[in-house]
Amino acid sequence: MPDLKDRLIDAALSHVPFDGWSETAFRAAIADAGVTPAQARAAFPRGAVDLAMAFHMRGDARMIERLNAQDLGEMRFRDKVAHAVRTRLEIAAEDREAVRRGTTLFALPIHAADGARAVWGTADAIWTTLGDTSDDVNWYTKRATLSGVYSATVLYWLGDQSEGFRETWSFLDRRIDNVMQIEKFKAQARKSPLFSRLMAGPNILLDRIRAPTSSPRNDLPGLWRDPS
């Protein structure tokens, strides 16, 4: 099945810039990949939408592979996060127009939940690969914050005409710095006796929140999975 999915994704990429992640592109990919419609529907039950999700997830898998092959031990943690986002976008740059078409698809209300899930999956992949071990509410807040950073950076990158996307990387660094300032404020607030008293009740509830045991993105039908 992974080989079939890869063949369909690769076949679709020559059509998506013109037809978007559409049924037209999906049918063209089926013809170019030399598979039957039944095989294609078995792999991607919702057609082009699942194909677009699989394309995004394949990019995440390639990012994980690259990051795991690198020695990031000497980097500050904020630099590791920025490097991971940049790595993901460098992979996306290989098919930039397909990414642009994907943002258009997932901006539609009917597919907005899929788009949010895709971005959350990228944030989760980055945090997990960088060694995040949180299992409480911080698991959610880290991914929610990085999802916002990643989404904003992708939109900026899609409109960036600077050489080597240097303006995008500057934008990314500013967003990461903003996040670090927020985290610094939160750490200072937690040390405040007044804040601790005010948050005593909410903290009891927050302490009961636990991270999921597995990522929900793996439960989606027809999505690309790393064959390794």
In a domain, 4, yes or no: no
In a domain, 204, yes or no: yes
Domain count, the chain: 1
In a domain, 74, yes or no: yes
pLDDT given for residue 192 in this prediction: 59
Q: What range defines the domain where residue 139 resides?
A: 53-219
In a domain, 47, yes or no: no
In a domain, 151, yes or no: yes
pLDDT given for residue 139 in this prediction: 86
Segment 67-93 mean pLDDT? 95
State yes or no: pLDDT of 204 exceeds 60.
Answer: no
Q: What is the pLDDT of residues 5-29, one digit of tens each?
A: 999 999 999 999 999 999 999 999 9
In a domain, 208, yes or no: yes
In a domain, 150, yes or no: yes
DSSP labels for the chain?
-HHHHHHHHHHHTTTHHHH-SSHHHHHHHHHHHT--HHHHHHH-TTTHHHHHHHHHHHHHHHHHHHHHTS--TTS-HHHHHHHHHHHHHHHHGGGHHHHHHHHHHHHSGGGHHHHHHHHHHHHHHHHHHTT----SHHHHHHHHHHHHHHHHHHHHHHT--SGGGHHHHHHHHHHHHHHHHHHHHHHHHHH-HHHHHHTHHHHHHHTT----SS-GGGGSTT------
Segment 130-157 mean pLDDT? 90
Q: Is the pTM of this model over 0.75?
A: yes
pLDDT given for residue 209 in this prediction: 54
% of the chain at pLDDT higher than 70: 79
* Bigger pLDDT: 66 vs 214: 66
pLDDT given for residue 71 in this prediction: 93
| 26 close to 40: Cβ distance less than 8 angstroms | yes
* Bigger pLDDT: 122 vs 213: 122
Q: Of the candidates 128, 131, 119, which has an alpha carbon nearest to the alpha carbon of residue 155?
A: 119
% of the chain at pLDDT higher than 90: 69
In a domain, 9, yes or no: no
Segment 94-122 mean pLDDT? 97
Segment 52-63 mean pLDDT? 97
pLDDT band (50, 70, 90) for residue 141: confident
pLDDT band (50, 70, 90) for residue 228: very low
State yes or no: pLDDT of 191 exceeds 70.
Answer: no
pLDDT given for residue 211 in this prediction: 65
Q: What is the pLDDT of residues 170-179, one digit of tens each?
A: 999 999 988 7
State yes or no: pLDDT of 106 exceeds 70.
Answer: yes
